[in-house]
Amino acid sequence: MRFLRAISILLTLAVIAAVGFLLIGWRSEIPPDNQAANAQYPPDLVAKGAQLAAVGNCIACHTEPGQEAFAGGLPVPTPFGTLYSTNITPDPETGIGRWSEAAFVRAMREGVDREGNHLYPAFPYDHFTWVTGEDNKALYAFLMTREPVKATAPANDLVFPLQFRPLLVGWNLLFLREGGMQPDTSQSEEWNRGRYLAEGLGHCGACHTPRNAFGAEDRNHHFGGGEAEGWQAYAINASSHSPVPWTVDSIAFYLRNGWHELHGVSRGPMAEVTGNLGLLPDSDIRAIATYVASVMGEPSPERKEKGERLTRSFGNGGANITTAALDENKASADLSGHPGAAIYGAACATCHESGRPQPYGGLNFALSTAVNAPNPQNIVNVVMFGLPPGDGQPSAVMPAFGNTLNDRQVADLLGYLRARFSDQPAWTGLTDLVAKTRSGEYPVTVLASDGIERAPKNVGAKE
Amino acid sequence: MTITLNVNGQNHQVDAEPDTPLLYVLRDDLELNAAKYGCGLGQCGACTIMIDGKAALSCVTPLLVAEGREITTVEGLGTIENPGPIQQAFIEKQSAQCGYCIAGMMMSAAALLKHNPKPSDDDIRSALRTNLCRCGTHMRIMAAIKRASELMEQAAVPAATNRSAG
Ligand code: FES
Ligand code: FES
């Protein structure tokens, strides 16, 4: 009896909780606006929206590789199952063609669609909530003037009970700060502009901040390094592993050009980001750089000293590179008998010690964040899949070595790079990691290194 | 060091340093001159061969990783008297201008056709995107690969018909 009573109490509580969620979480439908897609929008507003959409990198998630832009359908793997991005072209039936501006703004600020359904936070509304009404207006005008495409995304495939969208109310209570943060008056206007772009539409933290068990960003480790599409998004705070500490100038150059002589080229999902940022005025890029550099803070005297030494050797467009420079970081222990040494000599050194300037020459590994990072995934990816060339324009390129080297050989090579070019402890479990990356058990998205358009096909691990 | 290389189905003993690029061994020691030296940096594709049936760049392949694996070069696709379907197709479509890139193109094509016997234009472009041709014969190379796919299919069909007839 007592058992039955306990069960019935529990059930009642569950029902009350569910009803409660439904009530708090209930959002009304915003009536369809059948004229929205046919309305006229001033060209300068649309142009501004295009720039903002580039900051938001909307196209990356809302486009299937090789398919129509913004038509959605891209699978987004999460620890909770697979989500499919939605169609944000102005198609009335399958896209947002009947969304009024109010409905669009609500989605951006609260993560609720026109019909009142809660959206999943893979759509980073916890960042987009910062976006001002004025900027939303421009974004809306830009999207509503795209080519409408009829396309319905496959149904999401989530673990129970996450299909039940009102649960997201709980998530929002915990993790959504509607409207973002007020400007910090103790900081410059440029810094505040940078924070607005980086924390808001730019949603840097969505990849660069680690996530907690609820899939929300861990605020205690802001910009502490995360993961995206099979790539490590490096720490961009005080724990950055970049051998040469970043500065406002170097970040701005990197974001503008997709490479920097002391840091190498952007790749993986970051290639899309830098590719897209090409649309932004210098002032905005500089603002983002100012903010991110301030989050990184002043490097320690040792890091600074090492950075200066490396800059003397490798900076200045490669003009200073000498044999001595190329031997930079050569570990005191003799590595010539290392199983990775011969592989490095024939497969890597010809480019990576050529001293030819970035972005077309190989980066000297003494400068490589990948070799110094705690997790080797990025350098595994680059060795296996290379950097596919961009379409119809000059771009960085690196051959893929997945067909040349077996798992053990890749592991040997990476062990050698780590021993020779970093003072960090050896990586463990390399062979296994390489095997999982090769088999596709650990999926990796491979993108052309120009990054503006997704490669026509994901030349990924599953091939 | 001495290692045994299996090239086009034949074993060879080679005496060379482990970090010698495989391309040098193929050309200088084994006198298999199909694979070409273009850039030596893995950027042009002229040196493409197959390792275990997959396209690889022999200029950046250290000799030691080739041990115990099946290497295929254009010499393994057919002979002058008896060209294989890919070679036949490149001749029919007259795809070579100076010809320097063609051996690499053929090997990338061979690797593609192995796992994708009827490739689309997009498939071909993406599989051969790292093979450069400075003469600009790309359209003829595309045509030759499509033709090779037909020739290979035709070569496979009679056998199948016989089987069903028998
Ligand atoms: S010679 Fe090997 S890729 Fe150019
Ligand atoms: S035919 Fe001359 S390089 Fe291709």
pLDDT digits 0-9 by tens, A254-306: 999 999 999 999 988 998 898 888 778 999 999 999 999 999 999 999 999 99
Structural tokens at position B8: 């086009």
Contact B146, B95 (CB under 8 A): no
CA distance A138 to B66: 57
Contact A377, A461 (CB under 8 A): no
Is A127 within any annotated ligand binding site? Answer: no
Report yes or no: A69 at the B interface, CB cutoff 8 Å.
no
Ligand 2 in reach of B96 Cβ (< 6 A): yes
Report yes or no: B20 at the A interface, CB cutoff 8 Å.
yes
Amino acid identity at A338? H
Rounded mean pLDDT, A403-421: 96
Could A350 and B60 be called an inter-chain contact, meaning their C-beta atoms sit closer than 8 Å?
A: yes
pLDDT for residue B107: 98
- Ligand 1 atom nearest to CA at B59: 2
**Domain assignment of residue A317, yes or no:** no
pLDDT digits 0-9 by tens, A249-264: 999 999 999 999 999 9
pLDDT for residue A425: 96
What is residue B4's three-state secondary structure?
strand
The Cα-based distances of A347 to A271, A355, A432, B21, B111 in angstroms read: 24, 16, 22, 8, 21
Which residue's CA lies nearest to atom 4 of ligand 2? Answer: B133
Does residue A166 sit in the same domain as residue A18? yes
Phi-psi region of A273 (alpha: psi -120 to 50; beta: other; left: phi over 0): alpha
Lowest mean pLDDT of A44-48, A75-79, A430-434, B94-98, name the range: A75-79
**Number of compact structural domains in chain A:** 2
Enter the ipTM.
0.91
Rounded mean pLDDT, A202-223: 95
**What residues of chain B lie within 8 A of the CB of A343, using their CB?**
19, 62, 64-65
Report yes or no: B35 at the A interface, CB cutoff 8 Å.
no
Nearest chain B Cα to A360, which residue?
B43
Quote the ligand 1 centre to A343 CA distance (angstroms).
16
What distance in Å separates residue B163's CA from the closest CA in chain A?
32
Does residue A97 sit in the same domain as residue A153? yes
Ligand 1 in reach of B78 Cβ (< 6 A): no
pLDDT digits 0-9 by tens, A155-204: 999 888 888 888 888 889 889 998 888 999 999 999 999 999 999 999 99
The pLDDT of residue A130 is above 80 = yes
Is A338 within any annotated ligand binding site? Answer: no
| pLDDT tier for residue A459 given thresholds of 50, 70 and 90 | very low
Contact A128, A179 (CB under 8 A): no
Picking from A247, A267, A296, the residue at the C-terminal end of a domain is: A296
Rounded mean pLDDT, A77-105: 94
CA distance A360 to A351: 9
**Domain assignment of residue A364, yes or no:** no
pLDDT for residue A361: 87
Picking from A241, A268, A296, the residue at the C-terminal end of a domain is: A296
Does residue A138 sit in the same domain as residue A201? no
Of the candidates B48, B142, B146, the residue with the CA atom closest to the CA atom of residue B95: B142
Does residue A291 sit in the same domain as residue A199? yes
CA distance A353 to A345: 10
pLDDT for residue B148: 98
Does residue A218 sit in the same domain as residue A99? no
- Ligand 1 atom nearest to CA at B47: 2
What is residue B54's three-state secondary structure?
strand
pLDDT for residue A333: 57
pLDDT for residue A6: 67
| pLDDT tier for residue A2 given thresholds of 50, 70 and 90 | low
Mean pLDDT of chain B: 93
Quote the ligand 2 centre to B146 CA distance (angstroms).
18
The pLDDT of residue A453 is above 60 = no
pLDDT for residue A67: 81
Q: If DSSP states are collapsed to H, E and C, what string results for chain A?
A: CHHHHHHHHHHHHHHHHHHHHHHHHCCCCCCCCCCHHHCCCCHHHHHHHHHHHHHHCHHHHCECCCCCCCCECCEEEECCEEEECCCCCCCCCCCCCCCCHHHHHHHHHHCECCCCCECCCCCCHHHHCCCCHHHHHHHHHHHHCCCCCCCCCCCCEECCCCCCHHHHHHHHHHHCCCCCCCCCCCCCHHHHHHHHHHHCCCCHHHHHCCECCCCCECHHHCCCCEEECCEEECCCCCCCCCCCCCCHHHHHHHHHHCEECCCEECCCHHHHHHHHHCCCCHHHHHHHHHHHHHHHCCCCHHHHHHHHHHHHHHCHHHCCCCHHHHCCCCCCCCCCCCCCHHHHHHHHHHHHCCCCCCCCCCCCHHHCHHHHCCCCHHHHHHHHHCECCCCCCCCCCECCCCCCCCHHHHHHHHHHHHHHHCCCCCCCCHHHHHHHHHHCCCCCCCCCCCCCCCCCCCCCCCC
**Domain assignment of residue A117, yes or no:** yes
Does residue A135 sit in the same domain as residue A255? no
Does residue A147 sit in the same domain as residue A231? no
Interface of A with B in 372-411 (CB under 8 A): 388-389, 397-399, 401, 403-406, 409
**What residues of chain B lie within 8 A of the CB of A354, using their CB?**
41
Quote the ligand 2 centre to B141 CA distance (angstroms).
10
Higher pLDDT among residues A87 and A314, named by residue: A87
pLDDT for residue B164: 45
**Domain assignment of residue A362, yes or no:** no
Does residue A165 sit in the same domain as residue A252? no
Rounded mean pLDDT, B62-82: 96
DSSP strand pairing (B2-7 vs B70-72): parallel
Could B55 and A403 be called an inter-chain contact, meaning their C-beta atoms sit closer than 8 Å?
A: yes
CA distance A434 to A177: 39
Is A221 within any annotated ligand binding site? Answer: no
Rounded mean pLDDT, A9-33: 74
Does residue A18 sit in the same domain as residue A125? yes
Q: Which residues contact A415 (CB under 8 A, 6 or more apart)?
A: A338, A339, A340, A426, A427, A430
Does residue A48 sit in the same domain as residue A90? yes
- Ligand 1 atom nearest to CA at B39: 4
Stated pTM of the model: 0.90
The pLDDT of residue A463 is above 50 = no
Does residue A157 sit in the same domain as residue A216? no
pLDDT for residue B166: 39
Mean pLDDT of chain A: 88
pLDDT for residue A317: 72
What is residue B101's three-state secondary structure?
coil
**Domain assignment of residue A150, yes or no:** yes
Higher pLDDT among residues A3 and B114, named by residue: B114
Quote the ligand 1 centre to B98 CA distance (angstroms).
17
Picking from A277, A296, A315, the residue at the C-terminal end of a domain is: A296
Does residue A209 sit in the same domain as residue A289? yes
pLDDT for residue A22: 65
Rounded mean pLDDT, A52-66: 89
| pLDDT tier for residue B54 given thresholds of 50, 70 and 90 | very high
* pLDDT cut 70: percent of chain A above it: 89
Lowest mean pLDDT of A60-74, A82-96, A207-221, name the range: A60-74
Lowest mean pLDDT of A64-78, A185-199, A312-326, A355-369, name the range: A312-326
CATH of domain B2-158: 3.10.20.30
Report yes or no: B98 at the A interface, CB cutoff 8 Å.
no
| pLDDT tier for residue A462 given thresholds of 50, 70 and 90 | very low
Which residues constitute the domain of residue A74?
Answer: 2-175
The pLDDT of residue B165 is above 50 = no
Higher pLDDT among residues B24 and A453, named by residue: B24
**Domain assignment of residue A267, yes or no:** yes
What distance in Å separates residue A11's CA from the closest CA in chain B?
55
